């Protein structure tokens, strides 16, 4: 994945635990001398080992790390680096989510080596949508939960999330039902 | 085709900002996203201003028609934040009207926010959205560049700091011999240092008012190092002949970087103090050598000159002895005198041997060991009044080449010692001499069953003026000279001795054959 993802983990850790802990995690994961660049492609294993090492060092579950990371991603990286998307996607979470597939398709247009996830949004009624998530990677479902949580906070829209479907074959597929209260 | 009536709803799906303009420039239709911005669009001129084309165009249907093969930029009037539409006019000839298809031209996130438009106001195919995302990515890449630059700057600082704090002059020249880098130690003043970059050594000499001919010479050395790809070393002397004299040892190392560019790394170490010390040492050494030489020859000539009176004394004594004209009690004195004179002569001879060993070069000839051993034994066996048996064995693969005089002295001393410190042993006293000669070495052992050497004396026997036994006669120089000779011949000597059982010397001397063959 692109280094912006690793920078996200870096930001999350530094903001919550400080630079020293981050340096420790980075070194323990084997990237002590690395300076992560946003627009450089890194192997997925870098991201995964950063996340698992963080869980180990902080003595929390990987699930916890991924969820926190998802939330941080929307509320910090998204807001800072992709303000337009966050602010112009729509003034509510449903409008925003409808844009998500196109947004990730454009990521791929600009960075042909990226493998961003695919989404499909079905509007069930004015308060309910079904968000289909397809990814070539496995293990990021908890990240999705964190992301949705972050969006809910960003749009000040408390919502309920039902995990309707989950499968991991060659690709990961998840179906989330998001109900805005 | 012409009878096909196009569907405005379909068109606005594709171009949500499109408009239809009639001959009188009235707007009869505006796309749904445009309607969000301009609520009452009646006249084209009241709603839009030409930005491009602008100077040659008029707000007239025909005028617009003439420019219709150009890209248009139209600004929507009367907005709190101006929005420019980029697009094109097409002529709908059957209906004699103009269609403008375009959309807001936005190049930054901030502008987007100010338009109060949403992404959903744009058609999916609209590349303005792609452009916006590209802009975000470019900003991200720019941030990366900033990060990288500061990383590089940090590294650069680190190394510069390192170089600046080494007490050595460091300069780097490119292959045109222009300065590419100078550390603080080489040129203290920062302004001069910066100025020197891309200048030559000669420029520097000129700047400092130094000897320009010397600059040319130095330049030639730099050139030599870089063309021959060889290290060059020289000394620069500043303020010669006065108290501030400074001597810098300079070394030039040519090197090629990873891209095949040639550079010259020059470094200079201040060796003023070192050189001063060394110069003083050299002078002192010379003086000492001279003094030593003088002392040596003085000692040699004194010893040498001493021998004649001693020998004369000996001769005179012998005459008295043979004349028999002395009382019986004087006879004893005469015998003691004779012994003393003999000892004196021995000592003098040994001292002469020492100086000879120290002063003369090695002179290789073939050595007849057996002959010298027998001769030596014959001359000393009368020291004792009992029989000593000499056993000799020589095993030779080849001749033994060494310095004859030194070998004789060596054998004389060792055999004499063996005799002097022998014990009668009920008539079984012996001295065993053996030698094994090959191309490399000559290995000699001399063994006796004499008094032996007390253990606490053994490690000192090769020292000057040390006597193995306090009871016996001897100058104490014998073994010292032996070890000096063996040193000179690059050999080794080993002592094994058990008191009251005997002594064994093992000596290894390199066979000089090789040296002879080579020369
Ligand atoms: C708002 C700013 C966002 C940006 C800039 C962004 C950008 C990216 C980028 C660059 C990747 C890495 C793709 C690669 O390198 O292969 C990625 C992955 C991902 N994105 Fe987004 N994204 C954003 C928002 C979201 C949101 C709101 C969601 C979900 C609700 C989401 C879901 C994901 C997931 C799950 C991945 C992980 C990769 C995978 O599952 O295969 N993203 N995103």
* Residue B288 buriedness (CB in 10 A; 0-12 / 13-18 / 19+): exposed
Taking the CA of residue B77 and the nearest CA in chain A, the distance in Å comes to: 23
Which alpha helices (H) appear in B38-103, and where do they start and end?
44-47, 61-66
Clarify whether residues A105 and A166 are in a common domain.
yes
Atom number, ligand 1, closest to the C-alpha of residue A85: 1
Q: Which residues contact B324 (CB under 8 A, 6 or more apart)?
A: none
Question: What CATH architecture does domain B166-270 belong to?
Answer: 2-Layer Sandwich (3.30)
Angle, helices A141-154/A62-72, rounded to nearest 10 degrees: 40
Clarify whether residues A154 and A106 are in a common domain.
yes
Q: Which chain B residues are closer than 8 Å to A84 by Cβ?
A: 109, 112-113, 132, 136
Range of the domain at A49: 3-60
Number of domains in chain A: 2
Atom number, ligand 1, closest to the C-alpha of residue A140: 40
Angstrom CA distances, B516 to A48, A75, B366, stand at 77, 92, 11
Boundary-marking domain end, from A11, A43, A60? A60
Least confident of B246-260, B284-298, B494-508: B284-298
Clarify whether residues A95 and A165 are in a common domain.
yes
Tokens for A164?
Answer: 């309707």
Q: Looking at domain B8-126, what is its CATH homologous superfamily?
A: Haem NO binding associated domain (3.30.450.260)
Angstrom CA distances, B228 to B174, B181, B251, B265, stand at 15, 22, 14, 14
Q: Which residues contact A155 (CB under 8 A, 6 or more apart)?
A: A91, A92, A93, A96
Write out pLDDT tens, residues B91-137. 999 899 999 999 999 888 888 888 888 888 999 999 998 888 888 88
Atom number, ligand 1, closest to the C-alpha of residue A148: 30
Clarify whether residues A113 and A165 are in a common domain.
yes
Q: What is the structure's pLDDT at B474?
A: 59
Q: Which residues contact B501 (CB under 8 A, 6 or more apart)?
A: B449, B452
Q: How far apart are CA B109 and CA B129, in angstroms?
A: 10
Option in B118, B136, B141 nearest A82 (CB): B136
Residue A73 lies in a domain: no
Tokens for B426?
Answer: 């009920």
Residue A51 lies in a domain: yes
Contact B421, B469 (CB under 8 A): yes
Give the closest residue to B416 by CA, choosing from B449, B381, B447: B381
Q: CA B276, B280, B282, B288: dihedral to nearest 10 degrees?
A: -170
Task: Produce one character per residue of B236-271: b if its CB has 16 or more CB atoms within 10 Å, e if not.
Answer: eeeeeeeeeeebbbbebbbeeeeeeeebbbbbbeee
Say how many C-beta atoms besides its own lie within 10 A of residue A10's C-beta.
19
What is the whole-number distance in angstroms between the Cα of residue B119 and the centre of ligand 1? Answer: 18
Write out pLDDT tens, residues B7-52. 778 888 999 999 999 999 999 999 999 999 887 778 999 999 999 9
Residue A21 lies in a domain: yes
Q: What is the structure's pLDDT at A88?
A: 74
The DSSP output letter for A78 is I
Option in B124, B132, B140 nearest A84 (CB): B132
Taking the CA of residue A53 and the nearest CA in chain B, the distance in Å comes to: 25
B146: contact with A, CB 8 A cutoff = no
* 3-state SS class at B374: helix
* 3-state SS class at B38: coil
Q: What is the CATH topology of the domain spanning B360-518?
A: Heat Shock Protein 90 (3.30.565)
Which is more confident, B1 or B452? B452
Clarify whether residues A33 and A100 are in a common domain.
no
Option in A83, A91, A102 nearest B124 (CB): A102
User: Is the CB of B137 less than 8 angstroms away from the CB of A110?
Assistant: yes
* 3-state SS class at B431: strand
Clarify whether residues A56 and A121 are in a common domain.
no
Q: What is the structure's pLDDT at B2?
A: 47
Q: How far apart are CA B293 and CA B295, in angstroms?
A: 5
- Please tell me the number of Cα atoms within 13 Å of B273 on its side-chain side: 2
Question: Would you say residue B361 has pLDDT above 90?
Answer: no
Write out pLDDT tens, residues B207-243. 988 889 999 999 999 999 999 989 999 998 887 777 7
Taking the CA of residue A169 and the nearest CA in chain B, the distance in Å comes to: 31
Q: How high does pLDDT run on average in chain B? A: 88
Q: How far apart are CA A108 and CA B133, in angstroms?
A: 11
User: Is the CB of A84 less than 8 angstroms away from the CB of B109?
Assistant: yes
Clarify whether residues A104 and A164 are in a common domain.
yes
User: Is the CB of A40 less than 8 angstroms away from the CB of B144?
Assistant: yes
Least confident of B276-280, B293-297, B330-334, B423-427: B293-297
Same fold? B8-126, B166-270: yes
Q: What is the end-to-end Cα distance of chain A in Å, rounded?
A: 34
Taking the CA of residue A172 and the nearest CA in chain B, the distance in Å comes to: 26
Q: How far apart are CA B33 and CA B458, in angstroms?
A: 115
Give the closest residue to B132 by CA, choosing from B104, B151, B156: B104
Residue A95 lies in a domain: yes
Domain boundaries, chain B: 8-126, 166-270, 280-359, 360-518
Clarify whether residues A98 and A27 are in a common domain.
no
Contact A134, A173 (CB under 8 A): yes
Strands (E), B404-440: 430-437
Q: Which residues contact B242 (CB under 8 A, 6 or more apart)?
A: none
A8: contact with B, CB 8 A cutoff = no
Question: Would you say residue B377 has pLDDT above 50?
Answer: yes
Residue in chain B closest to A98 (alpha carbons) equals B120
Handedness of CA B447, B449, B451, B455 (dihedral sign): positive
Question: Would you say residue A100 has pLDDT above 80?
Answer: yes
What is the whole-number distance in angstroms between the Cα of residue A100 and the centre of ligand 1? Answer: 9
A113: contact with B, CB 8 A cutoff = no
Residue A75 lies in a domain: no
Residue from A76, A116, A129, A130 whose mutation best tests the ligand 1 pocket (most atoms within 8 A of CB): A116
Q: What angle do CA B72, B73, B74 make, to 5 degrees?
A: 110
Q: Give the CATH number of the domain where residue A169 resides.
A: 3.90.1520.10
* Residue B303 buriedness (CB in 10 A; 0-12 / 13-18 / 19+): middle
Clarify whether residues A53 and A129 are in a common domain.
no
Handedness of CA B406, B412, B415, B418 (dihedral sign): negative
Residue from A107, A114, A151 whose mutation best tests the ligand 1 pocket (most atoms within 8 A of CB): A107
Clarify whether residues A96 and A143 are in a common domain.
yes
- The confidence band for B350, taking pLDDT boundaries of 50, 70 and 90, is confident
Q: How far apart are CA A168 and CA A135, in angstroms?
A: 9
Q: What is the structure's pLDDT at B1?
A: 44
* Residue A7 buriedness (CB in 10 A; 0-12 / 13-18 / 19+): buried
Residue A137 lies in a domain: yes
Which is more confident, A54 or A113? A54
Clarify whether residues A129 and A51 are in a common domain.
no
Contact B412, B453 (CB under 8 A): no
Residue A82 lies in a domain: no
Give DSSP secondary structure letters for A11-56. HHHHHHH-HHHHHHHHHHHT-TT----TTSB--HHHHHHHHHHHHH
Residue A105 lies in a domain: yes
């Amino acid at each position: 994945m692109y280094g912006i993802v690793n920078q996200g983990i870096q930001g999350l850790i530094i903001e919550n635990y400080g630079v020293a802990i981050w340096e420790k995690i980075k070194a323990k994961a084997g990237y002590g001398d690395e300076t992560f660049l946003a627009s450089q492609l890194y192997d997925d294993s870098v991201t995964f080992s950063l996340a698992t090492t963080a869980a180990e060092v902080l003595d929390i579950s990987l699930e916890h790390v991924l969820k926190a990371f998802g939330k941080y991603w929307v509320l910090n990286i998204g807001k800072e680096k992709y303000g337009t998307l966050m602010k112009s996607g729509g003034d509510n979470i449903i409008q925003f989510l409808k844009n998500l597939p196109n947004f990730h398709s454009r990521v791929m247009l600009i960075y042909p080596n990226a493998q961003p996830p695919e989404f499909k949004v079905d509007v069930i009624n004015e308060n309910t949508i079904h968000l289909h998530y397809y990814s070539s990677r496995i293990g990021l479902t908890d990240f999705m939960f964190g992301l949705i949580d972050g969006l809910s906070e960003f749009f000040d829209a408390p919502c309920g999330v039902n995990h309707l479907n989950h499968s991991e074959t060659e690709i990961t597929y998840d179906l989330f039902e998001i109900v805005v209260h | 085709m012409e009878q096909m009536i196009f569907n405005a709803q379909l068109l606005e799906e594709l171009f949500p900002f499109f408009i239809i303009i009639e001959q009188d420039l009235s707007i009869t239709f505006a796309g749904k996203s445009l309607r969000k911005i301009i609520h009452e669009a009646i006249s084209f001129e009241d709603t839009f201003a030409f930005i491009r084309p602008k100077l040659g165009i008029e707000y007239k249907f025909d005028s617009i028609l003439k420019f219709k093969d150009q890209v248009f930029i139209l600004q929507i009037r009367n907005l709190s934040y101006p929005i420019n539409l980029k697009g094109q006019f097409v002529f709908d000839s059957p209906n004699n009207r103009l269609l403008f298809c375009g959309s807001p031209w936005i190049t930054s996130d901030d502008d987007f926010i100010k338009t109060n438009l949403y992404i959903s106001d744009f058609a999916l195919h609209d590349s303005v959205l792609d452009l916006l995302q590209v802009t975000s990515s470019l900003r991200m890449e720019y941030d990366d560049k900033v990060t990288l630059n500061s990383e590089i700057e940090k590294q650069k600082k680190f190394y510069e700091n390192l170089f600046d704090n080494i007490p050595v002059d460091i300069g780097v020249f490119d292959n045109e011999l222009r300065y590419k880098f100078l550390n603080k130690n080489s040129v203290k003043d920062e302004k001069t240092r910066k100025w020197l970059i891309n200048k030559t050594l000669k420029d520097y000499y000129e700047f400092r008012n130094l000897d320009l001919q010397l600059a040319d010479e130095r330049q030639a050395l730099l050139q030599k190092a870089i063309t021959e790809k060889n290290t060059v070393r020289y000394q620069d002397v500043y303020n010669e002949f006065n108290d501030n004299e400074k001597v810098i040892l300079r070394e030039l190392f040519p090197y090629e970087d990873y891209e095949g560019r040639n550079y010259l790394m020059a470094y200079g170490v201040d060796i003023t103090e070192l050189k001063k010390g060394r110069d003083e040492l050299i002078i002192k050494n010379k003086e000492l050598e001279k003094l030593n030489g003088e002392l040596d020859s003085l000692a040699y000539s004194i010893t040498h000159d001493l021998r004649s009176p001693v020998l004369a004394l000996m001769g005179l004594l012998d005459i008295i002895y043979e004349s028999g004209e002395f009382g019986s009690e004087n006879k004893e004195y005469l015998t003691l005198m004779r012994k003393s004179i003999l000892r004196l002569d021995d000592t003098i001879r040994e001292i002469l041997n020492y100086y000879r060993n120290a002063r003369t070069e090695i002179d290789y000839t073939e050595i007849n060991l057996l002959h010298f051993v027998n001769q030596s034994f014959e001359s000393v066996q009368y020291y004792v009044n009992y029989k000593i048996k000499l056993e000799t064995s020589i095993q030779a693969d080849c001749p033994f080449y060494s310095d004859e005089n030194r070998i004789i002295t060596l054998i004389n001393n060792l055999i004499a010692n063996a005799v002097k410190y022998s014990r009668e042993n009920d008539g079984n006293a012996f001295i065993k001499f053996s030698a094994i000669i090959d191309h490399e070495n000559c290995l000699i052992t001399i063994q006796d069953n004499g008094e032996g050497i007390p253990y606490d004396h053994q490690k000192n026997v090769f020292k000057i003026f040390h006597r193995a036994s306090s009871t016996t006669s001897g100058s104490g120089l014998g073994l010292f000279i032996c070890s000096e000779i063996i040193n000179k011949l690059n050999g080794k000597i080993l002592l094994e001795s058990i008191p009251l059982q005997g002594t064994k010397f093992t000596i290894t001397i390199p066979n000089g054959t090789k040296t002879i063959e080579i020369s």
